[in-house]
Amino acid sequence: MAQIDLLVGDIAGNSAKVIKEALDARDRLKADAVVFPELTLTGYPPEDLLLRPAMAVQIDAALAAIKSGVSGISIVLGYPHYEESGCYNAAAVIRDGEIQYRYFKQSLPNHSVFDEKRYFKAGSEPSITEINGVKIGLSICEDIWQPEALEQMKQAGAQLIININASPFHAGKQQQREVVLAQRVAESGLPIVYLNLVGGQDELIFDGGSFVINAQGVVTQRLPALVESLMVTEFEVEANGALVPLPAWVTPLPTDDAMIYNAIVLAVRDYVRKNGFNSVVIGLSGGIDSALTLAIAVDAIGAANVEAVTMPSRYTAEMSIEDSFAECEALKMKCHQIEIEPMYQSFLSALQEDFLGDKPDATEENIQARCRGIILMAISNKGRKIVLTTGNKSEMSVGYATLYGDMAGGFAPLKDVPKLLVYRLSRYRNTLSPVIPQRVIDRPPSAELAPDQKDEDSLPPYEILDAVLEMYVEQDMGPDAIIKVGYESEMVHQVVAMVKRNEYKRRQAPPGVKITVRAFGRDRRYPITSGFHDA
């Protein structure tokens, strides 16, 4: 089982990795076959790269390289297969210079983050191939979530099911996968090898967690989550032809908070490195969001590759500055301080005539945030350091963020992390080593852009806000249904209005990793200009 991390579009690099891992599986592990993820050669999701004329040519060259570069082991490999009739999401069995068998994915997902029907035609034939005399049914990702394809394979005489995947992560996904596969085993009585991709790709994180489940529905082997692994699984063929996976190491499932935290760490590491950066810069406010983002960044790419900048204003509490420096000290890194008051005053002076007669409002608050955004982007440009923004999902939902200010940056690690989960992840991180000061966790959150400002001056308490947002954004419940749960009518309608009103902001926000069942971005696509009202 080759649970590997790939770079989307790097056909030559991905095929070279296939060759390397296949030779290792043959020579070191003495394997008869090696299984790779869905669309290995392109990475997942390749999106409109599949429509480029050069793609088919590069795929053919990669297959030729694999066929000539590896012998003595069967390779089960996912890739896009081009024919005159269209493009297929395919799995091939390659051995000794030949493609011995090819299968086309039947169930093409077209929901959530998936839009495979845009690119692929669906296959219809059951897949049965032989490796070392064993009849194997090949399937690809979504095929296993429905009973039909597996039933075809059983009827065709399959002894073992191999399911190759590019299954993205959200909280609780691994448990969901294992429940579904237990259902398929109960229906078919066949063992299943479930091989998943690992690594970050833009908004998606693939968490690995590949596993083997026997004919009794028991997981007999599980690879670690969120890391590349090449592990052998062995089967015993009984006299009646039944395949029995031999017991192997079953990696324990991490806690939810550990899984989410480490998924974000991997997402940051891969986004930074795969996009050609070596370092990041983060603005520290002394608040919990920037503290957690800093810890994630250091865990992802190392303290030496992270620059932290605190940018106090006239409204910044002294404890915020102290806590920013304390966070850096705990992570064994330096904190750089730049005062924004001089540039803030310059903006106010330049705008004095335009603002004449108007009372201070959110405009002046946003100018402060934009001063900070300019500083961070300047450091980014000069030092080729990508800016990590620090906003969370609760703020992004209701627009409690400044466009071209604290939203300015290249990647948003907490974009899909609700505020209450920010607190949970911060506490989890402190169990590994105390890097977030306790008073940062305890103090009321504040943007510190006005005197004595608190988030709850403008927003419902996060315990209420996060619950309402989960129902509206992730569960598609309308305001009336949320009110019936027991939430105050005026508040619910206010929150819903803020979510709708700030679609234009979210459309301009940097990408961020998906960790819930529905994230903003490719997972939730709403028009900016809309006259729709929930009723």
Catalytic residue among 17, 21, 105, 470: 105
Burial code of 62-77, b = ≥16 C-beta within 10 A, e = fewer? Answer: bbebbbeebeebbbbb
Contacts of 361 (CB under 8 A, 6+ apart): none
Catalytic residue among 21, 38, 307, 395: 38
Catalytic residue among 87, 141, 335, 371: 141
Q: How many residues does the chain have?
A: 535
Task: Let me know if 33 is exposed, middle or buried by CB neighbors in 10 A (0-12, 13-18, 19+).
Answer: buried
Active-site residue 38, yes or no?
Answer: yes
3-state secondary structure 73-137: CEEEEEEEEEECCEEEEEEEEEECCEEEEEEECCCCCCCCCCCHHHCCECCCCCCCEEECCEEEE
CA distances from 534 to 112, 469, 472, 493 (A): 21, 15, 10, 10
Q: If phi over 0 gives left and psi between -120 and 50 gives alpha, with beta otherwise, what is residue 235?
A: beta
Looking at residue 470, the DSSP 8-state letter turns out to be I
Pair 299, 282: CB distance under 8 Å = no
User: What are the backbone angles phi and psi of residue 510, rounded to the nearest 5°?
Assistant: -65, 160
Integer Cα distance of 327 and 435 in angstroms: 6
Integer Cα distance of 68 and 119 in angstroms: 29
Looking at residue 278, the DSSP 8-state letter turns out to be S
Contacts of 335 (CB under 8 A, 6+ apart): 284, 308, 309, 310, 324, 325, 327, 328, 329
Active-site residue 105, yes or no?
Answer: yes
Give the catalytic positions in this structure. 38, 105, 141
